[in-house]
Structure 1
């Protein structure tokens, strides 16, 4: 049986993750791969309930440590219930956000100690690691302009100040610099065609490398 892969699409708010993931799913499916798309926090019934809590604007009292623990709890359930079984069945799993977001938002953004974030994350991961992290990089101001243009209410993370989002962006870029093998940075300020071309190229390189 073919071995599945785990691809993460992460980065700044408004960078176009949803559209990029939809294109990547279609492209991989057309090439004959079985593909599953999921998201964090969420992906399972328990995870979706946690998502409602951590992203709701109605929970402003949520402290930073509780936020970290809830993200980790959702991830642990997500991995055991959905992600790992799919990979073992030969499926390519594409996830909207994963561990890069935790480090970017909870460490670089919130200022929680890196060793604490990594320790809590490590419990949830239990040795699991993504095959590829695609970071859609975009200036936070442009990103929030895109988010605002969609209309609708902002979630808790989207309501954060620009300074917070800028620190998170630096966190994504720092992780990619420290691990260039499993991270790929894609400039999301360009045309959609240019962005998906680079994303497809990164996915193809992964599949060729691990074939």
Structure 2
């Protein structure tokens, strides 16, 4: 059995993706679903769950990169400001992180029919890495092993959050609970990321594979308005059949 609901939220830094995870967990709790938050599992155990450990849950919430192995290296070293690492190094590490995530978690979860919510995906890599520098281009990123796996078995739905660069930088500057200090938190990059997420080629990659795309521009929205819009999206996807969403 393959899960009919593998829902990803992607977008530039500062667009409000953390709200997606919060609302996904709220939906699961309100629906009486048993939820495994991988962030908590990684923190407690320092590893991915074994397939049999997924059997006790209906819903899986995660984020990419992961917090262990290659993902932790990406988060805490490779993408920090002031470091010498190239986009190819970052893309290779992310691909490795995704290969392990795919085989250890995503594929077993989908076979069990779990509903999956993910903050980011390989979509971030095809938007971000090709414009970091000239060490790896779009085709190079696209054809990395970890990304090919997810192209062959992609998410079912993707919510793309957009935000104007000035608003994004203001939000990032006001964060109190999450300070990433990554190379991606720059106004000019956020502007280009917005354009790439909205490009025809980006939409085609996913629509050709049956992924249902939905966009929300959070720029004019207050926090609770963004939360409400994301909640409405999650409910519309999770409370409907595939035929109703197609």
TM-score scaled by structure 1? 0.83
Return the offset for 1:12.
1.4
Return the offset for 1:139.
1.0
- Larger mean CA deviation between 60-69 and 2-11 belongs to 2-11
What's the counterpart of residue 181 of structure 2? 155
Contact 2:2–2:110 under 8 Å retained in 1? no
Describe how 1:130-209 pairs up with structure 2 within 5 A.
130-151=155-176, 153-159=179-185, 161-174=186-199, 177-178=203-204, 179=206, 181-189=211-219, 190=221, 191-204=225-238, 207-209=240-242
TM-score scaled by structure 2? 0.73
Return the offset for 1:43.
5.1
Contact 1:6–1:130 under 8 Å retained in 2? yes
Consecutive unaligned residues in structure 2, runs of 5 or more: 34-57
Which protein shows a greater Rg? Answer: 2
Describe how 1:12-91 pairs up with structure 2 within 5 A.
12-33=12-33, 34-42=58-66, 44-57=68-81, 60-91=83-114
- Larger mean CA deviation between 92-101 and 110-119 belongs to 110-119
Q: Distance in 2 between matches of 1:126 and 1:183?
A: 15
- Count residues with an aligned counterpart: 208
Consecutive unaligned residues in structure 1, runs of 5 or more: none
